[in-house]
Structure 1
Amino acid sequence: MHLEELLILRNEELGTPTDLPADAVRDISGALNALLADMFALYVKTKNFHWHVSGPHFRDYHLLLDEQADQIFATTDPIAERVRKIGATTLRSVGQIAARKRLLDNDSEFVTPRDMLAELREDNKQLAGEMRRTHALCDEHDDVATASLLEVWIDEAERRTWFLFEATRTTQG
């Protein structure tokens, strides 16, 4: 059985009743589980950079990355709970996170602060795009509740992208 099938397997104990058709549950829960894996990956990368940032803007970057990591982590429980609310199951291990995530890791010994912020900016931008695709899927299946949550998370990802963009701009003049 494939990971995808295991994650959406419905049984008497865990199959929360829903009026969504089985294909909607399968498609939406699959997209949300991939999003959840991305959120965990982005959280760990953001904390990694938070712990290892250095240089003249250390305090500002350290605090910015800590704030962003907290916001990213705060989305994980609502994503997983939404999967459960629509009748599917969610990720159970770090191995499942690693198998489902679409964002790349950064295991480098040293990354400049500017490169850290630029990489996180691109990751957040990619994440916003993945959320938009998931939103479109929710629209196809008339899942307004999940779509509504995604709208908030898209806005948060765009705000993180904006802050990271502005923090990496060079001033002229």
Structure 2
Amino acid sequence: MTTKAQQTSKQAIQTIEAQPKFKQRPHVIQKFGELHSMPIGLPEEAIKKNVECLNQLVADSVTLYFLYKKHHWQMVGPTFYQLHLLLDKHAEQIEETIDLLAERVQQLGGVSIAMPNDVAEMTRIERPPKDAEGVLTMLSRIVEAHATIIKGLREGIELSERTHDSTTNDVLSSDVLPMHELQLWFVSEHLVDIPITDAKA
């Protein structure tokens, strides 16, 4: 039974504007896949296609980021130190491009993919096991993931050029693609099968 004092205390709390209102579940203001109008001089259909392309790149990039982190943590062997550091550096650079891609989605009036469960459903990158794998397998997975994203980036560059979305084109061709090509090169060179020392020397 609620006492008069408790009711008075409850009313006092309700009248304090600074009181946080917990457990809110506000209504959805924009569904994923919908666009709100942005006066940027591009047809809605063109914007829609670019948003879809960008969101796919976000999903794949987030997956690659965590692939890098997984392999950074689980790295072993004689090249542990340099690969441990290299993979972490690459992960940080990937994270920066994720921000660029997701914010471009928002700039176009879309809703960026964000949560891990949604990313897992959408990504085109093969899911690795929970287990720790050998070094060459880990690096091969990273190279394949980069190749998938690079293919998507080239498709996005062609699409944004065709739809006259110059800003998206610039983000993809100037900021994101060169980084992926550089990272793919750095990682793939570790897959060259040569001995560390030359036995003939």
TM-score > 0.5, shorter chain as reference: yes
Looking at secondary structure, tell me which structure has more helix per residue: 1
**Alignment RMSD:** 1.6
| Superposed counterparts of 1:9-20, under 5 Å | 9-11=34-36, 15-20=37-42
Distance 1:74 1:92 in 2: 14
Structure 1 residue 20 displacement after superposition: 1.2
Asked if the contact 2:35–2:48 (Cα under 8 Å) also holds between the matched residues in 1, the reply is no
Distance 1:10 1:137 in 2: 18
Distance 1:170 1:109 in 2: 24
Identical counterparts, % of pairs: 28
Match among 184, 187, 190 for residue 164 of structure 1: 187
TM-score normalised by structure 1 residue count: 0.89
Distance 1:162 1:34 in 2: 23
Match among 117, 123, 127 for residue 105 of structure 1: 127
Asked if the contact 1:20–1:86 (Cα under 8 Å) also holds between the matched residues in 2, the reply is no
Match among 133, 139, 144 for residue 122 of structure 1: 144
**Is 1:52 aligned to residue 74 of structure 2?**
yes
Structure 1 residue 108 displacement after superposition: 4.2
| 3-state SS of paired residue (1:10) | coil
Which structure would you say has the larger Rg? 2
The count of aligned residue pairs is: 166
Q: Deviations for 1:18-37, whole angstroms, at most 9, x for unmatched residues?
A: 22111011100001001000
Match of residue 47 from structure 2: 25
Match of residue 154 from structure 1: 177
Match of residue 7 from structure 1: 32
Distance 1:87 1:17 in 2: 10
Match of residue 27 from structure 2: none
Asked if the contact 1:31–1:134 (Cα under 8 Å) also holds between the matched residues in 2, the reply is yes
Once the two structures are overlaid, the 10-residue window that deviates more, 16-25 or 151-160, is: 16-25
Q: Deviations for 1:43-84, whole angstroms, at most 9, x for unmatched residues?
A: 011100000010111001101100111111111111111111
Structure 1 residue 110 displacement after superposition: 2.3
Distance 2:186 2:164 in 1: 33
- Of the two structures, which has the highest relative contact order with CA contacts closer than 8 Å and spacing of 6 or more? 1
| 3-state SS of paired residue (2:193) | coil
Gaps of 5+ in 1: none
Distance 1:125 1:10, change over 3 A: closer
Asked if the contact 2:146–2:180 (Cα under 8 Å) also holds between the matched residues in 1, the reply is yes
> Residue type of the partner of 1:102?
R
> Residue type of the partner of 2:169?
A
Match of residue 96 from structure 1: 118
Once the two structures are overlaid, the 10-residue window that deviates more, 34-43 or 17-26, is: 17-26
| 3-state SS of paired residue (1:7) | coil
